Amino acid sequence: MSDSFATLETLNFDNSYTRFPEHFFHRITPEPLVDAHLISFNPEVAALLDLNPCEINPSDLASYFGGENLLPGSEPIAMKYTGHQFGYYNPDLGDGRGLLLGEVVNQNGERWDLHLKGAGKTRYSRFGDGRAVLRSSIREYLVSEAMHGLGIPTTRALCLIGSTQHVMRNGMEPCAAVLRVTPCHIRFGHFEYFYYSKQHEDLRRLADYCIERYYPDVKDAENPYLAMYQQIADRTAQLVAQWQAYGFVHGVLNTDNMSILGETFDYGPYTFLDEYRPDFVANQNDTTGRYAFKQQPDIVQWNLTALAESFLPMVGEEDLKDVLRAYSHKFVAYRNARLAARLGLQTEQAGDAALIENLLTLFAEHKVDFNRFFRTLCDYEGAGAARDALYQFLCDITALDHWLDQYDERLGAEAASFPIRRQQMRSVNPKYILRNYMAEEAIREAHDGNYVLVNQLLGLLRHPGDDHPDMQRFADAPPDWAGAICLTCSS
């Protein structure tokens, strides 16, 4: 093995968060899973940690991330935070089933949090058992790689660990654990905890830590705390813009599920829309539709407002309001930029916003499978070309023809030839998207002890724009039974 590689035993830990006072967290070791075994391993994430994927022993992964042994240098903690859940403040939150094992610094100086989800009870578990089940663990493991493949900021995962242990969820279900890897596990709710508990000195200490570690470029700003908040708001606007551009529904957009880095965080009952339905609610527990697809941009702004309130001891109210006022414009600009790229538009023209809105209206009226539509549009050559391949997506051919006439005219303002445009469009329009039925198939097989599909989907979703002839069926329309899949907070 090359000297440039680390092993699991020689990872370079530097656990900066544990240097805070201990009321910031709870020190506790993982509870071992029964008969822990490796289900899947992500070599790309291993490389981020300086690990050689070819040299890692599966039994070591199961031992360390099934909770039997601690990685040398790790210092497991459950982080304390609070947050607004479905609009109501909850002071009793914290890492209830996951532990921050430690922070690994790689040879490039990048710092990566290792977070074990499903590690057992902590003082923040409330009435829970601290476990994650195989169903939800597979969903998080796969979607984090799917989002990365789409270029959407997200946490990722090193491995998925299974167990013969069972807990009660939808009946008795097998336990599992995911080793989540990301630069940051600090949530909006961390700031809310110190603000609402009136620990303002600790609030400023946390903010200083975040500036030093995540936003060092704002140190010299007139007010570094305001400058950091501006960047958090901007990153978050970009994030939700990409969700809307690809039809991703988070499902539980509570403030404790919002990362200060603008990453997709804490996957629960998520969905990629099979049909473009703005009112779609992914989470069956969300009876009021608070987190419906069309609501996400406004809910994110609501969450940013909650974060802004937590910044009041450090930043003037009007300055924070100015940032929030700019959010809606930024969101629309970011969303339209991504949708313009999906349409193959490389220049910006005055009528682009109307062209995009007209298309989204068409999608909504006819419940179009819009990710498949965009992929098919990649092969549309423009004015004079046959449109038959696009007609399959909606019954009202006249309405589609009207929009395509506008699109043809707009393409006339582009200098790129069709082959160049097609190549660019395919780079942002996936052939494969993680639909619920795909995850459900993998879950059903995994419950029978067959993990082949989990690993096949991992590779497929890592490169969703490529042709995978042996996986072609996942590029087709979803089966009829897909619509009956029910997701809840336990998903």
Amino acid at 360: L
Query: Which one, of 283, 302, 311, 260, lies nearest residue 88 by Cα?
Result: 302
Amino acid at 208: D
Catalytic position from the list 256, 274, 286, 352 = 256
State how far the Cα of 403 lies from the Cα of 463, in Å rounded to an integer: 30
Query: Which one, of 171, 183, 260, 276, lies nearest residue 218 by Cα?
Result: 260
Query: Which one, of 448, 226, 468, lies nearest residue 457 by Cα?
Result: 468
DSSP 149-184: HHT--B-EEEEEEEEEEEEEESEEEEEEEEEEEES-
Q: What sign does the CA torsion over 296, 302, 305, 310 have?
A: negative
Beta bridge pairs of residue 104:
13, 112
Structure tokens belonging to residue 262: 């603008």
Structure tokens belonging to residue 344: 């193959």
Structure tokens belonging to residue 77: 């903690």
State how far the Cα of 337 lies from the Cα of 315, in Å rounded to an integer: 31
- Is 208 an active-site residue? no
State how far the Cα of 150 lies from the Cα of 282, in Å rounded to an integer: 20
C-alpha pair distances (Å), 11 with each of 105, 342, 368, 389: 8, 40, 48, 52
Q: CA angle 412-414-420, nearest 5°?
A: 115
Active site amino acids? 256
